[in-house]
Amino acid sequence: MTVIKMTPAAIESLRRLQEEYDMPGYGLRFGITGGGCSGYKYVLELEEAPGEGDEVIEIAPGIHVFLNEAHRDKLQNSTIDWIDNLMETGFRIDNPQAKNPCGCGESVDF
């Protein structure tokens, strides 16, 4: 079983986004795609339902993360946080599998 965690700030922000965009019950797609200066970029998108091959991780009531099995090893034990300060606003990933993260925080290598 994959363990993905979300901080209270990330859970609260995801609930706010669901409400703001009229997407109640939508889950958070958490994955990776090729790109960025370090080789991979994180994918974080609201989706109505899981796709084929997705693991559904219930974080809290009404808060689900959809994680494709192909990304499981690279994202195992990650924590999704929400940052809101003068320099940045948005989700931030703490991933123990990540090596050589980009200085901009947008891409990562494994």
What is the per-residue pLDDT across 25-41, written as a single tens digit (0 to 9) for each?
999 999 999 877 778 88
How many CB atoms lie under 10 A from the CB of residue 96? 9
- pTM across the whole model: 0.89
Residue 32's H or E segment, with its range, is strand 27-34
Q: What is the number of structural domains in the chain?
A: 1
Q: pLDDT per residue over 57-68, tens digit each?
A: 999 999 999 999
Domain that holds residue 85: 5-108
Contacts of 62 (CB under 8 A, 6+ apart): 15, 18, 24, 25
